[in-house]
């Protein structure tokens, strides 16, 4: 028991060891989460290419709304980790309960916004009425169960702050295998088509949220219940909303990219969508690093160990470089094999392969951005990740894509090259900004109240 407790204390011991111990389960879990999404794409492709295109644009639109709740994980983790570092269990429970309350508020807001605007957004992404119909079949079901996604994020964030990434890994792994059972059941046995993918996901997310809430109860010795506290909500929202906005910019950026790609047809949209799913799978170590950096930096920041905070950032970039050296060749040489697992249509395969090979040049840039954003979030400076996200995902792509396509009349592949340039520029800015902020870092004000 003492050894387990020592493992959870991230303010001492080897930083590399702690990042690897926390990061590997987190990365493995996210691998299975991405495989889960790829499984949905695989089943959609078995239905038809129209279903695959429909699921592709539905995923973008639903993620656009769900982004509001995506900041719950990192925002909750940032607040919980700091008070874990100061050894204040009562405050830890208060943060979790208030985050639980925000979760239900966000979920209701997402449902209302989705019912009002989702259909119109789908129609902007495709002129094909069959594709839009398939997309709405999926989106309309998922919207009503969005609370299960958000509860899972909230509970996972609190557990990650405790250094527990294994429980989240477990539910993501279990969800992947359950999806292979439930998808055929809902699609073929119950004859629900693309909507069957959504019903399968809701069942899995319901079970996942209940399991993580139970684990969290054992961790903090009390059930998490929705709680309202004006001061706590304000402080949580100061972390959650910028993180949510950062996620929102990623989704809007995907929306902008899909919009411009869709001008070249539905096959390029499907090819890019499958390609980016594969890329996300290869970037899972980055998300594992993100989780470990959040936990290690958060606890050490709360404990006032600023040199250890700086050390964690430096070593996270070293790990990021090693991962990049492994996966960049994978993207370049194995992309044709990976794409053919999802479709036999050559037009879709060609676009996905080209995207993966070009974007391999930006792989370390993505890793650097993830590490930098995690550090800034953990030390309660979430504004810069939001600003760089707006520039990287929305402003620069919107301008670059328009100029390249409509002014200079370049083709589809110019979009992919501009993405690489934007990512690398953003990574350089994030690196120098984060390093400067860490040199200026001061010990957070202590609050002795329980």
Give 10-residue mean pLDDT values along the chain (450 residues): 54 88 85 81 82 80 75 84 74 90 92 87 80 86 91 90 87 93 89 88 94 92 88 89 83 85 89 87 83 87 89 95 94 93 88 95 95 92 91 94 95 95 97 96 60
CA separation for the pair 48, 25 (Å, rounded): 35
Among residues 133, 18, 56, the alpha carbon closest in space to that of 343 is found at 56
| Distances 161 to 223, 284, 287 between C-alpha atoms, Å | 17, 19, 15
CA separation for the pair 192, 200 (Å, rounded): 11
**How many C-beta neighbours within 10 Å does residue 113 have?**
14
Among residues 438, 435, 424, 437, the alpha carbon closest in space to that of 369 is found at 424
CA separation for the pair 76, 200 (Å, rounded): 27
pLDDT at 185: 92
Residue 147 has, within 13 A of its CA and on its CB side, a CA count of: 13
CA separation for the pair 153, 168 (Å, rounded): 9
CA separation for the pair 233, 220 (Å, rounded): 20
Task: Supply φ then ψ for residue 448, to 5 degrees.
Answer: -80, -5
Q: Where are the beta strands (DSSP E) in 121-172?
A: none
Total-model pTM: 0.80
To which residue do tokens 């290869």 refer? 282
pLDDT at 81: 81
Q: Are residues 19 and 286 in contact, defined by beta-carbon separation less than 8 angstroms? A: no
């Amino acid at each position: 028991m003492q050894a387990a407790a020592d493992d959870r204390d991230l303010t001492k011991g080897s930083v590399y060891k702690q990042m690897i111990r926390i990061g590997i389960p987190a990365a493995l879990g996210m691998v299975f989460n991405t495989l889960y999404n790829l499984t949905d794409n695989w089943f959609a492709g078995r239905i038809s290419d129209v279903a695959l295109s429909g699921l592709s644009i539905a995923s973008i639109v639903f993620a656009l709304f769900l982004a509001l709740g995506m900041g719950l994980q990192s925002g909750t983790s940032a607040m919980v980790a700091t008070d874990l570092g100061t050894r204040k269990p009562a405050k830890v429970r208060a943060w979790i309960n208030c985050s639980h309350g925000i979760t239900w508020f966000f979920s209701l807001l997402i449902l209302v916004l989705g019912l009002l605007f989702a259909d119109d957004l789908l129609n902007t992404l495709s002129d094909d009425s069959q594709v839009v119909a398939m997309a709405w079949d999926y989106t309309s079901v998922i919207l009503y169960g969005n609370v299960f996604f958000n509860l899972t994020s909230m509970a996972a964030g609190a557990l990650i702050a405790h250094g527990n990434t294994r429980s989240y890994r477990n539910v993501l792994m279990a969800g992947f295998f359950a999806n292979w059972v439930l998808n055929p059941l809902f699609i073929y046995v119950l004859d629900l088509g693309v909507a069957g993918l959504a019903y399968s996901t809701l069942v899995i997310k319901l079970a996942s949220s209940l399991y993580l809430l139970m684990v969290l109860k054992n961790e903090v010795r009390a059930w998490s219940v929705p709680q309202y506290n004006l001061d706590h909500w304000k402080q949580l929202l100061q972390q959650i909303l910028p993180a949510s906005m950062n996620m929102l910019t990623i989704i809007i950026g995907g929306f902008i990219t899909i919009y411009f790609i869709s001008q070249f047809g539905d096959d390029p949209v499907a090819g890019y969508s499958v390609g980016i799913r594969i890329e996300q799978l290869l970037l899972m170590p980055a998300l594992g690093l993100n989780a470990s950096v959040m936990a290690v930096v958060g606890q050490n920041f709360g404990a006032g160990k600023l040199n250890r905070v700086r050390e964690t950032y430096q070593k996270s970039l070293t790990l990021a470089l090693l991962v990049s050296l492994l996966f960049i060749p994978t993207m370049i040489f194995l992309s044709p094999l990976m794409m053919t697992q999802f479709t036999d249509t050559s037009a879709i395969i060609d676009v996905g392969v080209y995207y993966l090979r070009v974007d391999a040049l930006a792989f370390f840039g993505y890793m650097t951005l993830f590490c930098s954003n995690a550090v800034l979030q953990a030390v309660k400076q979430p504004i810069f990740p939001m600003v760089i996200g707006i520039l990287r995902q929305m402003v620069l792509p919107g301008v670059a894509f328009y100029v390249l396509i409509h002014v200079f009349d370049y083709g589809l592949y110019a979009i992919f090259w501009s993405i690489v340039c934007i990512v690398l520029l953003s990574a350089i800015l994030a690196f120098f900004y984060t390093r400067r902020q860490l040199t200026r870092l001061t010990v957070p004000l202590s609050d002795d109240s329980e």
